[in-house]
Structure 1
């Protein structure tokens, strides 16, 4: 679970992409070969999209190794997970299945049902034409209406009756038509027609998705395309934290009220009915230099810490944040300095909170090992009855240990990718502590699977 939540096979601060991919691949193969039912069950948990695709791919590629009951259960889990994934991820999975020559009956049925459930397959055919064509060909499907000609002989018809297909055809020679297409498609036509970037962004703004607006907002502002404005209050919490950290310190100060209000709104939305129910909470938040992450995952660990800060503020009735740098202004957080986790944990425990949460990559180095000793003595000598719940949330996968890096055996550690999953991960962390066994874990997974599939039936 820790690996499937945190790792995407990309470079991290302490390990390269090759190490990450090799380590993750080993874990997938090990779980698939030894605990196939538990491996499939992780699709019902909050794994990241990269690992959800890998799990589905591995299960479909080894259909012959599953018994009928397993195939039935896996089929429902895969179908439900694919319905929740972004379409590009699913089309990427279908293309990978084609490259791997996985074409059993279950695979074709899952591809057929997913394509049939798409709300507008003509839209997909325009936006992801090559991927849709590969999926149709691999699943041996015959798309009805004008989709077949569009996918395989797109320029042959003189005109289409399907509006979006006709708009795509006209966009080849008519500039006005491209502004009725999805942004990623229209961008290519804009380059073909040599349309100025600022003018293009201004006119395509109504067609942008929520996340496209967020991604393009700053570059559009520089070009003077004021129509591209994102409603920050509707953005996912961790994504919004990443956006804030990408801004310059001067911009953050200038827009402090707007950014803080947006982060708190997103945090309250994520907290839901748990808001204000967690009692006294202290958070130790890692903003050391390693929270920069890597060129592939720039400032990702710090963004998770910042998002957790605002979420815990919403969950707690009394909240104290302790940044490793000693910073008191969370909005100006930046990756800098060593990792004095031990000192900050001592400061947190000194406040006698009901919960102490540590959000860090676990590389305690100032001095090395102090955090582990503090937690060991606290749990075994000073608080053996667990009056203070301590949980370590780690946003970085440690390829060498096939897990996220832990601070102490006496404290549960869970991987975290998005702060929105914090509440569920704190619950799951009890299994990492070793006070519960495989029976309890299976029971927990059975409940999660039932809830996961019930949402699909609803």
Structure 2
């Protein structure tokens, strides 16, 4: 029993670390989210530290990965074997701005032990272009170098950061462009977009002209964020090649009329992204039925606008790719049949849709919802209980509930019932790995099996990191 409790505690934390970002959700405030997460991180670190560190190898989101790293570095006296390698491998995968934010948090907390300085030193040494970082993340680089007592990567970068008036010219192209951009408009277009944008505003450059000329320096995400202004400036943008969830968010941000007009392009892009996400699992799941939540609560919050609905849309196309050809059925709670035109609307009749989905006898049933079954309340859990105990005790149909919304009050994602394994999800492309974790969430395996699974994921994670370093 103690092993089952420990396994449940760790899985509860994994659900939170995958789903929660400390931001406002539809039914809870940002303060409630942060308070709930802080408690979970402290509880799991103190009681299950090796497993807490091993979670860095899972598909937890970067917000929680940064919190795990911070907690581990704050408590060096409790460190276990291999923590440093896990931390270094995870930081290498994170966005640089988030890592610099983590270093600022460590400095504010007065965390400056030898391990923290070594990790900071190694991460900075691995950056591909220190001068570009100095321009793009200037405050973060200065904070990290000062806190870890490190020299700059080279003399020019050091002067740029700490003595900007010392040189009248820089040999490095980006540093020199930054210097010239203060008085020369042409130099703007040699800088990263986020840096050039500030100089363009200072020089009063027309927005459309600026977007047209800076286009070669923009990332795909930056192009999409400025698409409407960019379109007026003649910059060609498009959704091809985007990750699945980000693409779903992009599609849902478009007006319904534009989605309909671009149906072939958007549907093709979503299916291509789903095939990339499915990878070797494509077509291997047999007959699949999905119940997808497009009720009003899927609108999310002001800071996570339409995120739950985007996850459901991404899962729809991913499950279509995972199922055997022609063996997928997707049912939206609204009753809609056109996934490209979904919008957050109405109640959440999960129980009725689950009945429809089970009627076809699928090999797998996947429910993508925040779990607030309210039309009528509790029907989904009762339907699944009767199905599992009376109609399908042999478990011919595998059922899993993936939930994109963290319930701060419950310290977990909201569940449909005790007979249904529930896992948190943030990005639709993580679905295949999360379904594997859902097997542990059924309460039939203990800590030994979960530890073995985490050890395997850690070994794979570190091997991939080492391979990337050699490349």
TM-score by length of 2: 0.95
Q: Is the 8 A contact 1:201 1:228 kept in 2?
A: no
Partner of 2:82: 73
What are the Cα deviations for residues 372-399 of structure 1, in whole angstroms up to 9, with x where unaligned?
Answer: 1001111111111110000000000001
Aligned to 2:8: none
2:208·2:229 contact (CA, 8 Å) conserved in 1?
Answer: no
SS of equivalent residue, structure 2 residue 267: helix
Matched, 1:227 2:240: no
Shift of 1:351: 0.6
Q: Please report how far the alpha carbon of residue 156 of structure 1 lies from its aligned counterpart in structure 2 after TM superposition.
A: 2.7
Q: Which residue of 1 aligns with 2:302?
A: 295
Mapped to 2, the partners of 1:310 and 1:77 lie a distance apart of 33
For residues 228 and 443 of structure 2, the distance between their equivalents in structure 1, rounded to whole angstroms, comes to 47
Which residue of 1 is the match for residue 3 of structure 2?
none
Two-structure CA RMSD over aligned residues (Å): 0.8
CA distances 1:311-336 after superposition (whole Å, capped 9, x unpaired): 01111111000000000000000000
Show CA shifts across 1:15-71 (max 9, x none): 1111111011100000011110111010000000100000000100111223xxx1x
Partner of 2:318: 311
The answer to whether the Cα contact below 8 Å between 2:142 and 2:161 also exists between their aligned partners in 1 is yes
Question: C-alpha separation between the residues in 2 aligned to 1:165 and 1:20?
Answer: 41
Residue aligning to 1:441: 450
For 2:388 and 2:258, the matched residues in 1 are separated by 43
* CA distance in 1 between partners of 2:173 and 2:259 (Å): 43
Q: How many residues align?
A: 451
* Partner residue, 2:246: 239
Matched, 1:408 2:417: yes
Query: What is the CA–CA distance in structure 2 between the aligned matches of 1:429 and 1:3, rounded to whole Å?
Result: 14
Deviation track 1:200-247 (CA, whole Å, cap 9, x = no partner) reads: 0000000001211121112322xx1122413x1210000000000000
Q: Distance in 2 between matches of 1:158 and 1:206?
A: 28
Check if 1:353 corresponds to 2:362: yes
Trace 1:27-106 onto structure 2 (pairs within 5 A): 27-66=40-79, 70=80, 72-106=81-115
Post-superposition offset of 1:411 = 1.1
CA distance in 2: counterparts of 1:47 and 1:273, whole angstroms: 22
Correspondence for 2:9: none
Within 5 Å, which residues of 2 pair with 1:93-172?
Answer: 93-143=102-152, 144-172=154-182
Q: Which residue of 1 aligns with 2:4?
A: none
Write the mapping of 1:420-435 to structure 2, written as runs, cut at 5 A: 420-435=429-444
Query: What secondary structure sits across from 2:86 in the alignment?
Result: helix
SS at 1:282 equivalent: strand
SS of the residue 1:356 aligns to = strand
Structure-2 separation of matches of 1:86 and 1:228: 26
Q: Does 1:198 align with 2:198?
A: no
SS in 1 for 2:235: coil
Q: Output the CA distance in 2 between the equivalents of 1:218 and 1:313.
A: 31
Secondary structure, counterpart of 1:235 in structure 2: coil
Match of 2:365, SS state, is: strand
- In the alignment, is residue 8 of structure 1 matched against residue 21 of structure 2? yes
TM-score by length of 1: 0.98
Tell me if structure 2 keeps the 8 A contact 1:97–1:103: yes
- Contact map agreement 1:216 1:228 (CA 8 A) in 2: no
CA distance, structure 1, for counterparts of residue 18 and residue 442 of structure 2: 18
Q: Which residue is equivalent to 2:5?
A: none
Distance between the aligned counterparts of 2:77 and 2:263, measured in 1? 57
| RCO higher in structure (CA 8 A, sep ≥6) | 2
Write the deviation string for residues 144-173 of structure 1: whole angstroms up to 9, x where unpaired.
221111101123311111111111101111
Alignment counterpart, residue 248 of structure 1, candidates 235, 248, 255: 255
